[in-house]
Structure 1
Amino acid sequence: MARDLRGFLNQLEQRGQLRRITALVDPELEIAEIANRLLQSGGPALLFENVKGAEYPVAVNVMGTVQRVCWAMNMEQPEELEALGKKLALLYQPRPPKKISQAVDLGKALFDVVKAKPMRELLPPCQQVVLKGDEVDLTKLPLLRVYPGDAGKVITLGLMITKDPENKIVNVGVYRLQLQSKNTMTVQWLSVRGATRHLRKAAERGETLEVAIALGVDPMLVMAAATPLPIDMSEWLFAGLYGGGGVHLAKCKTVDLEVPADSEFVLEGTITPGEVAMDGPAGDHMGYYGPANPNGPLIRFHCMTHRKNPIYLTAFSGRPPKEDAMMALALNRIYTPILRQQVPEIVDFFLPMEGLSYKVAVLSIDKSYPGQARRAALAFWSALPQFSYTKFVVVVDKDINVRDPRQVVWSITSKVDPARDVFILPDNPFDSLDFATERPGLGSKMGIDATTKIYPESDRPWGKQLDPDPDTADLVSRRWAEYGLADLNLEEVDPNLFGYDMR
């Protein structure tokens, strides 16, 4: 897999999805304001070539639409992502094949894994320039300050690479970093993430944790880092599955870690367990300022390498739509086959962007017995670590389009008796950034059974659903042009007509 960030930006420009900005812009608030306006309208990616106080251009909004996320993953349409999800499902929880076709599918997936093995580069582009010790100055990077109440400038789209001190398994994650000084930053992460486990193990062993931050990587690698993987499966290997070939890696200069060879920048450092600093407040994905945290783990960087004439890639969080929300919509398609394997009755599922991409889930199931909707909701919460923070799960019948809010709301209002069909699970581990909970990190979950009720869930006979006469519907379809209505595409109805303000 030889493509890098520059190659992807060229692809976007050729497709009319990149705009170069030559006017002088300020990384303090101005760049984010420009980018956010285009995010709201599905506008193009931006490359700011003249950034105040910086030598390097800034790329932003690169994955600001689902279409561009698909291109980042070498695909054209979101539907193609489910094929990748099926491959991942085979590797996520492999089972002995019962049929020849299943054995063939598993064999193909395993062969793809062999082809996806990472490759090493001896003269990587990311080390064309090497700075060590006092030469490391993070203030020269065009880091953004996104919101006026942010405590400092941040890195939001860097890959953090760490290694388990015991079994040496590598974890690649995407976390927010806040600038503290010319060579230090604090990191914000959740306790369930791989890097936090590595830091806890390092603390138990009385060791520092080595860290590498890769900036300006191929967006495909960002998607691989955001995908839920089996704990023993490398993100590099999975990125190779995305791209159809091994990721090119390079050994760091000062730490025992490997990074993408075509990264624009690489920061190398260590975390000493217990060494912390004030992190935040900073704008986060919930749409509020996350509170100041006096215990933000402190990373000390002692080496920075970069390509010649590097490009700084960034994004920012906030109330949707933002780039992370677009990535989540694409990942929906990948999650679906994994969920079906673990919860077979699930037909489809959706995490609406307006629900902060993971706070609300809508599941459709092929219902065959009473209580099945509740079982599906409980299984969903435990299926993947990412879903443990989902606050609301709505379960609907298989004939409901989970991506159509009109159908979902109709199911809730016509099929739910709150006393019978709503259940609450109190005192669950929770996202500490969620201000709605009474106590940080501990909250409740709600399940809503919006399926058609069967005995003994209800003794009342259920009314027959209203459906058009199929023969008349077919007649009207055949005569549509004859009515003089051929120019009206009813599949692309403006949602604003029904009261949905999509701005």
Structure 2
Amino acid sequence: MPRDLRGFIKQLEERGQLRRISALVDPDLEIAEIANRMLRRGGPGLLFENVKGSPYPVAVNLMGTVQRVCLAMNMEAPDELEGLGKKLALLYQPRPPKKISQAIELGKVLFDVLKAKPSNDFFPPCHQIVLKDDEIDLTTLPFLRVYPGDADKVVTLGLMITKDPETKVPNVGVYRLQLQSKNTMTVQWLSVRGATRHLRKAAERGEKLDVAIALGVDPLVIMAAATPLPIDLSEWLFAGIYGGTGVHLTQCKTLDLEVPADSEMVFEGTITPGETGVDGPAGDHMGYYGGANQNAPLIRFHCLTHRKHPIYLTTFSGRPPKEDAMMAIALNRIYTPILRQQVPEIIDFFLPMEALSYKAAVISIDKAYPGQARRAALAFWSALPQFTYTKFVIVVDQDINIRDPRSVVWAITSKVDPARDVFILPDNPFDSLDFATEKPGLGSRMGIDATTKVYPETDRVWGEPLRSDPDMASLVDRRWAEYGLADLKLGEVDPNLFGYDMK
């Protein structure tokens, strides 16, 4: 099966995970309303084949469940993602092997890297149709307006490819774009992202920054672009490691940039440093409208290429659950081995979807000495770039189920004295879309030590935790059917019994 968007759509359809909609739908608010209802119900991916004002179909909610994210990465279950993370950890911060087994493991990963090298396609599908200059009219494309207060239509799953003006190393990122005219868009990004560094360097050199936007790519490539990488490693290489074979790339028609050859559409343009537009307001991942950015970089497009009969792949942001939250859950599993390598005392970590998938983290550690929880929290914030914007880090003991909110809340309430165990770091670089901060782009972080305290963290003797008698627990397990309770599965809990509204 081809590793492109069309191959993934076919795979979903074969598994009953895609619904085609032939009724006429409007990209202005209507498609997003339908898709949002599907997302909340864990429903199938959607392919709208009859879109008002455009000849092109729209695909949305293709990665609206964790299962479908795994399928996009050629895996069947989330547990397999951690194995991929172990490979990436070896590449992220390689160390000389100390044992034969470690050398063999490293050799296998290096062989995977060789297989993952991108290849070139000289007759790419994305160049089947070529439009230049006055032929370009972005207003005919089925971009979505998602919320009634949005300033205009947006692009959300486009890969932005730029290149460092000095080193020529490319960067691939996913940023929100807003339509401005028939051939211009503004981009909304964070100051720490790779493309922003490239624009600053271009400005220092008095040059324009070349920009390519690839739309409708293999979802696996999108996941690779969303993975935090060392600056000198290629997203294309990581996408090849994700998929087991190299990504097919092709040279842009007018730029010295490479894009996925099987893209449905490619926009080629430039950013002139200092040329800006008004971007927003627009609905964002925080669950609010982001304010209008008066100085958003403006991209002028002079070439548009696409496949015959292209499919427009999109998604949208907002309060979870959304597709980006499902992608984040999968990435959470991939990050875990990388994080353990950087911070060895961390047993596991979890970024709850309800906390916007990165605003709060729960970390479990094997506590061995006083102050270790604080050290682990501080190390977490600096381990990977995206953790810079994590507001809350809760550190618990390794016997706490970090994915069970009841267990985490119990740990906080039973093990934390706020004056001793809560620490705040003020004035950190922050997400400017976070309205809770007093100043845009500058906020504080909170660490909570919810571990069992040891001397000299406390002078009190800590109570022994309550546990069932293991022999009696084993006896009850064996006699469960004898009690006439076989139809009630062991360990199954109805959350509604404890005051949780699960509707």
Category of TM-score, reference length = shorter chain: over 0.9
The whole-number CA distance in structure 1 between the counterparts of 2:25 and 2:274 is: 38
One-letter amino acid of the counterpart of residue 263, structure 2 = S
Instruction: Give the corresponding residue for 2:170.
Output: 170
Shift of 1:2: 4.0
The whole-number CA distance in structure 2 between the counterparts of 1:112 and 1:60 is: 31
Asked if 2 retains the 8 angstrom alpha-carbon contact of 1:367 and 1:397, the reply is yes
One-letter amino acid of the counterpart of residue 293, structure 2 = N
The whole-number CA distance in structure 2 between the counterparts of 1:231 and 1:491 is: 45
Instruction: Give the corresponding residue for 1:3.
Output: 3
Instruction: Give the corresponding residue for 1:500.
Output: 500
- Residue deviations 1:439-466, cap 9 Å, x none? 0111110000000000010111111101
Shift of 1:490: 4.1
Shift of 1:102: 1.1
Asked if 2 retains the 8 angstrom alpha-carbon contact of 1:160 and 1:214, the reply is yes
Instruction: Give the corresponding residue for 2:152.
Output: 152
Q: 1:473 to 1:373 in 2, by over 3 A?
A: same
Instruction: Give the corresponding residue for 1:369.
Output: 369
Instruction: Give the corresponding residue for 1:463.
Output: 463
Q: 1:48 to 1:325 in 2, by over 3 A?
A: same
Shift of 1:502: 3.7
- Residue deviations 1:376-430, cap 9 Å, x none? 0000000011001000000000011110101000000000000000000011111
Matched, 1:142 2:139: no
The whole-number CA distance in structure 2 between the counterparts of 1:236 and 1:495 is: 43
The whole-number CA distance in structure 2 between the counterparts of 1:9 and 1:501 is: 34
Shift of 1:495: 2.8
Asked if 2 retains the 8 angstrom alpha-carbon contact of 1:2 and 1:248, the reply is no
One-letter amino acid of the counterpart of residue 115, structure 1 = K
Secondary structure of the equivalent of 2:262? Answer: coil
Secondary structure of the equivalent of 2:278? Answer: strand
Secondary structure of the equivalent of 2:211? Answer: strand
The whole-number CA distance in structure 2 between the counterparts of 1:70 and 1:155 is: 24
Asked if 2 retains the 8 angstrom alpha-carbon contact of 1:5 and 1:216, the reply is yes
The whole-number CA distance in structure 2 between the counterparts of 1:384 and 1:55 is: 42
Shift of 1:7: 0.6
Shift of 1:104: 1.2
Shift of 1:101: 1.1
Shift of 1:491: 4.6
Instruction: Give the corresponding residue for 2:36.
Output: 36
The whole-number CA distance in structure 2 between the counterparts of 1:213 and 1:498 is: 48
Shift of 1:481: 2.1
One-letter amino acid of the counterpart of residue 13, structure 1 = E
Secondary structure of the equivalent of 2:482? Answer: coil
Gaps of 5+ in 1: none
One-letter amino acid of the counterpart of residue 453, structure 1 = K
Q: 1:98 to 1:440 in 2, by over 3 A?
A: same
Shift of 1:488: 2.1
Instruction: Give the corresponding residue for 2:434.
Output: 434
Instruction: Give the corresponding residue for 1:221.
Output: 221
Asked if 2 retains the 8 angstrom alpha-carbon contact of 1:2 and 1:247, the reply is no
- Residue deviations 1:243-288, cap 9 Å, x none? 0000001111011111111111111100000000000000000000
Instruction: Give the corresponding residue for 1:345.
Output: 345
The whole-number CA distance in structure 2 between the counterparts of 1:54 and 1:478 is: 64
The whole-number CA distance in structure 1 between the counterparts of 2:178 and 2:500 is: 36
Instruction: Give the corresponding residue for 2:395.
Output: 395
Instruction: Give the corresponding residue for 2:271.
Output: 271
Secondary structure of the equivalent of 1:428? Answer: strand
Instruction: Give the corresponding residue for 1:83.
Output: 83
Shift of 1:492: 4.7
The whole-number CA distance in structure 2 between the counterparts of 1:497 and 1:119 is: 56
Shift of 1:15: 0.8
The whole-number CA distance in structure 1 between the counterparts of 2:207 and 2:44 is: 45
Asked if 2 retains the 8 angstrom alpha-carbon contact of 1:216 and 1:263, the reply is yes
Instruction: Give the corresponding residue for 2:476.
Output: 476
Match runs of 1:106-255 below 5 Å: 106-255=106-255
Instruction: Give the corresponding residue for 2:383.
Output: 383
The whole-number CA distance in structure 2 between the counterparts of 1:499 and 1:418 is: 26
- Residue deviations 1:465-486, cap 9 Å, x none? 0111111111111222222222
More off after superposition, 476-485 vs 225-234? 476-485
Secondary structure of the equivalent of 2:131? Answer: strand
Secondary structure of the equivalent of 2:36? Answer: helix
The whole-number CA distance in structure 2 between the counterparts of 1:251 and 1:344 is: 42
Instruction: Give the corresponding residue for 1:405.
Output: 405
The whole-number CA distance in structure 1 between the counterparts of 2:422 and 2:468 is: 31
One-letter amino acid of the counterpart of residue 50, structure 1 = N
The whole-number CA distance in structure 2 between the counterparts of 1:124 and 1:376 is: 48
